[in-house]
Amino acid sequence: MKEGLKYFTDTHFTLLGLLIFFIWFVLMCFWVYRLQSPQFHEQMSLLPLNDEGGRHE
Amino acid sequence: MNQDEIRYNDDIVKKFVLVTLLWGAVAFLAGLLAALQLAYWPFNFNLEWLTFGRLRPLHTNAAIFAFAGNAIFAGIYHSTQRLTKARMFSDHLGKIHFWGWQLIIVSAAITLPLGYSQAKEYAELEWPIDIAIALVWVIFAVNFFGTLAKRREKHMYVAIWFYIATIVTVAVLHIVNSIEIPVSYFKSFPVYAGIQDALVQWWYGHNAVAFFLTTPFLGLMYYYLPKAVNRPIYSYRLSIIHFWALVFIYIWAGPHHLLYTSLPEWAQTLGMIFSLMLWAPSWGGMINGLLTLRGAWHLLRTDPIVKFFVAAITFYGMATFEGPLLSIKAVSSLGHYTDWIIGHVHGGALGWNGFLTFGMLYYLVPRLWNTKLYSIKLATWHFWAGLLGILLYYISMLASGITQGLMWKAIDPSGRLVYPDFMETVIRIVPLYWVRALGGLLFIAGFAIMLYNMYKTLQSAPEQKSESVFIPAAKFDKVDPGKGHRFLEGVPGIFTVLTVVAILVGSIIEIYPTLSIQKYIPVTSMTEPYTPLELAGRGIYVREGCYVCHSQQIRPLAEEVLRYGPPSKMEESMYDRPFQWGSKRTGPDLARVGKKYPDLWHLRHMVDPRSVTPKSIMPSYPWLMGKSTDFLSLRKELAVMKYLGVPYTEEQIANGDMMAEKEALIIAQALEKEGAPPGLERKEIIALIAYLQALGQKSKGENK
C-alpha cells in the first residue's frame, strides 16, 4: 500500500479504465442518437433564433 | 393568444460590454510590455512594480478575469434572458455583481504590482480578494439560477448547460484551491504543500482554462454563432454528447502540467490519458460550430462577425489538438518549460477567447445601442491585423520553444551536454521574442481599430429607451417534459447536481489519494524545514515572482540530470507553501542551485545579473540592497507553518526573528570580507541569498 500509491504503474488497470470509459462513451452516443425525438431537438436548436419576440421558421 | 410582456435588463449587459473593452486594453498593453521586457529587459524601467515577475500575474489576471470575465458576464446576462424569455432575477444583484467584480479587478491591479501574491498561477490574489471573489461569484450564481427558476421556456438550450457547468465548477475550483491560512492582511500560506499544492494548483489551473475560458465561451458560441448566421446549430444531439463528455473529462486533465515531475506515475498517466481523450469532445464542439455555417459560408467573405467566429472556432480546434499532443509524455519532455507552451496558450487565448469576444461585441454593441456598426471595413481591418498578430505570436513561440527544447536535450556522443551554458539557449531565441512582441503589437493595433469603431458607433446611437418584448405566455404544465435528456433539460436543479457530480468524480479520484501521500515518505528521507531566515528569503522569492521564470523541479531526463543534478523527489518540497515547482524556464532551474555559487555571486547577480552573466535578460533587483527584511513577522509565519504541520519547535517560533537576525549577520559579515558593502545584515538581499543557498540542501539521506 505504501509503495502502491507512490509507484503505481500497473497498466492493466489503466487499460481497463480506458475500456470502461470508451464503452460508456459509445453507449452514450447510441442512446442520444437512437432514442431522442428529432422534432424536439429541431425545436430546441431554433431557440436562439426565436427570441426577441420574433419567430424563425 | 395570451402574451407576456418582458423588458430585458440590458443595462447590465451594456456595462459589462464597456468594461470588457476597457480591461482588454489594460490586459493587452500589460502583455505587450511583458513581451518587450523579454526581448529587452530595460523595458521594466528599473521599477520594482514593473519587473516581469510582478507584471506577468497582472497580465494573466487582467486577460482572464478582467477581459474574458467581463465578456462572459456580458454574454451570459444577454443570452440567458433571451433563452429563458425572462428578465434577470434581480437588477440589484446584477449591480452588486458588476461593481463587486470591478472592485476585485482594481484590487488585483494594485496588489499584484506591489508583490502581494500567493505565487500560484491564475490564483495569485491574496486571501481578502479570494473571499471577495467567492462572494461575488455566489451573487452571480444566485442571479443566474434565480433567472432559470423564473424562466418562461421550460427546456434549457445547450448554451445554458455550459453556463451552469461554468458557474458550479469555478466555484468548486476557486474555493478548494484558495484554502489558506492568513499570516497578515496580505499574506497567507496554502494548507497544501509541495506535491499536494502542485496537484491542487494544476487541477485548478487547467480547469480555470476549461471552465472559465472554454465552457462559457462554448456557451456563447452556441448562442451567438446561430444568431450571427441565422441558422440553428448543426447538431443538437452532438451538443449533448459534447457537453457531458467535455465536462466529465476535462477535470481530470490537470496533471498534464506535471509530467515527469515528482508527482506519482499513476496521477501523471491519468492526466495524460484523459487529456488525449479530451480531443474528441473538443473537436465535437468545433465541428458543431463550423458546420453550423453550412449554406452560409458566403457570409465569411462579407461579415466580419462571422470571420471572427470562424477564426475563433478554428483556433479552438488547433489549441484542443495541440493540448492533447503536448500532454503525451514524450512530447511534454520536449515542450514543457519552453515557449511552445506560451504559444499554445496564446493561440487559445487570443484566437479562441479574444476573437470570439470581438465577434460577440461586434454583434452586441449595435443591437444594444439600437444603431448600426460605424464601419464594416474597419472591423475587417481589425480581423486581419489581429489574425496576422496571432500567427506571428504563435509561430515565433513555437519556433522558440522547439529550438530551446532541442538545445536543452542535445547530448554529444561522449555523453555531455552540447549547450552546457543555459545562456546559449536564451541568446538563440531572443530574436524570436522581438517577433512575438510584433505579433502582440499587431493584435493591439487591431484592437485599437475596434475601440475607434465602437466609439464612433456609440456616438451615433440614438437616445436609449428600453423596449418590451411580447412572447407567448408560459404554459409549463402543457409542455411535455419528455424522457431521458429531454427531461433533464427541463429540470435545472437536477441538471446542476449531475454536472457537479460529473466534475467531482475526477477531482476526488485524483486529489484525495495525494492528500495523505506524505505518510508514505520514510523518516530517513524527510526534508529539514527552512530556517527562519530562509523562510523570510522564500517570501521575497514569492513576492518578486521568481517562479514565473525559474522552475524548481528537475525531471528524470538524462539531459536534466546532466545540467541540474539528481531528479527532484517529492519529499524535497514537502514543506513548501506555496510550492514553487514553476512551469517555465526563461532562466535555469533552481532546484539544486544551493551552494553552487558563492554568496557574493548571488549578491552581484541579483543587483545586476549582467555583472556575472553578460547577456542575461533577467531584471535587476537593486532595491533588495536597500529594503529591510521584516524579521518580526517571522514569528507569526513560523506559527502558521507549525499549525500546518511543519515541525518547527516552540523555541524557533518564539525566537524566529532573533535566529534570523543572527544568521543574517553571519552571512553579511562573510560577504563584507569578500568585498560586499558593509551593513547588509538587515537587508532583504541577505535573506534571499540564504533561501537560494538552501535549495537542494535540505534533504536528509541519499537525496542530498
* Number of Cβ atoms within 10 Å of the Cβ of B678: 9
Provide the pLDDT confidence category of residue B119 given band limits of 50, 70 and 90. very high
* All three cell numbers of B236: 443538437
**SS3 call for B446:** helix
Say yes or no: ipTM exceeds 0.85.
no
The band of B517, judged by pLDDT with boundaries at 50, 70 and 90, is confident
Q: Where do runs of H (alpha helix) occur along B645-699?
A: 650-654, 656-673, 684-694
Residues of B in Cβ contact (< 8 Å) with A46: 232
Residue pair B545/B56 in contact (Cβ under 8 Å)? The answer is yes
What's the CA gap between A5 and B166, in Å, rounded?
32
In chain A, the residue whose alpha carbon lies closest to the alpha carbon of B281 is A25
pLDDT given for residue A54 in this prediction: 43
Helix (H) / strand (E) element for B187: namely strand B187-190
Query: Which chain B residues in 238-257 lie under 8 Å from chain A, judged by CB atoms?
Result: 240-241, 244-245
**A19-50 per-position pLDDT tens digit:** 887 888 888 888 777 755 677 788 888 989 98
Q: What are the DSSP E strand ranges found in B373-528?
A: 469-472
What is the per-residue pLDDT across B562-600, written as a single tens digit (0 to 9) for each? 999 999 998 899 999 999 999 999 999 999 999 999 999
From A25-39, B302-316, B662-676, the region with the lowest mean pLDDT? A25-39
pLDDT band for B475, please (50, 70, 90 cuts).
low
Euclidean distance between CA atoms B251 and B274, whole angstroms: 9
pLDDT band at A11 (very low <50, low <70, confident <90, very high): low
> What whole-number distance in Å separates Cα of residue B172 and Cα of residue A12?
32
Q: How many CA atoms lie within 13 Å of B207's alpha carbon, on the beta-carbon side?
A: 34
Q: Is the pLDDT of residue B637 over 90?
A: yes
Q: Searching chain A, which residue's CA lies closest to the CA of residue B472?
A: A53
The Cα B432–Cα B404 span in angstroms is 11
Read off the pLDDT band of A18 (50, 70, 90). confident
Q: Do B83 and A37 touch (CB under 8 A)?
A: no
Compute the residue count for chain A: 57
Contacts of B475 (CB under 8 A, 6+ apart): none
* B residues 136-175 lying closer than 8 A (beta carbon) to A: 153, 155, 157-159
pLDDT of A7 over the 60 cut: no
Searching chain B, which residue's CA lies closest to the CA of residue A8? B266
Q: Please write the tens of the pLDDT for every residue from B602-634.
A: 999 999 999 999 999 999 999 999 999 999 999
Q: Residue B519: its pLDDT value, please?
A: 67
Residue B474 has pLDDT above 70, yes or no: no
pLDDT for the residue numbered B164: 98
pLDDT tens digits, B160-176: 999 999 999 999 999 99
Mean pLDDT in chain B? 94
- Using a CB-CB cut-off of 8 Å, the residues of chain A touching B157 are 44, 47-48
Question: Which residues, other chains included, contact B272 with Cβ-Cβ below 8 Å and sequence gap of 6+?
Answer: B255, B256, B259, B327, B328, B329
Provide the pLDDT for residue A41: 82
Cα separation, B174 vs B300, in Å, equals 39
pLDDT greater than 70 at residue B703: no
Work out the pLDDT band at B145, boundaries 50, 70, 90. very high
Q: Give the pLDDT band (50/70/90) at residue B455.
A: very high
Backbone torsions φ then ψ of B512, nearest 5 degrees: -55, -45
CB contact under 8 Å between A45 and B236, yes or no, is: yes
When CB atoms are compared, the residue of B158, B241, B486 closest to A40 is: B486
Type of residue numbered B217: F
pLDDT of B208 above 70: yes
Nearest to A41 among B153, B159, B236 (CB): B236
pLDDT tens digits, one per residue of B349-377: 999 999 999 999 999 999 999 999 999 99
Across the interface, whether the CB atoms of A46 and B485 are under 8 A apart is answered no
B237/A32 touch (CB, cutoff 8 Å), yes or no: yes
C-alpha cell at B285: 464542439
Percent of chain B with pLDDT over 70: 97
Amino acid A30: pLDDT: 82
pLDDT grade for A57, boundaries at 50, 70 and 90: very low
More confident site: B187 or A34:
B187
Helix (H), strand (E) counts: chain B: 27, 4
Q: Which long-range contacts (CB under 8 A, 24 or more apart) does B452-459 make?
A: B452/B378, B453/B373, B453/B374, B453/B375, B453/B378, B453/B379, B453/B382, B454/B21, B454/B361, B454/B365, B454/B374, B456/B374, B456/B375, B457/B365, B457/B366, B457/B369, B457/B371, B457/B372, B457/B373, B457/B374, B458/B365, B458/B369, B458/B371, B459/B374
B2 in the Ramachandran plot: left (φ > 0), alpha (ψ -120 to 50) or beta?
beta
Chain A CB within 8 Å of residue B510 CB: no
B241:A29 CB<8 A: yes
Predicted local confidence at residue B92, as pLDDT: 97
Any A CB within 8 A of B82 CB: yes
Give the residue among B545, B535, B640 at the shortest CA–CA distance from B188: B640
On the question of pLDDT at B383 being above 80, the answer is yes
Among the residue ranges B47-61, B264-278, B429-443, B457-471, the one predicted with the least confidence is B457-471
Chain A contact for B276 (CB, 8 A cutoff): no
Separation in Å, CA of B404 to nearest CA in chain A: 31
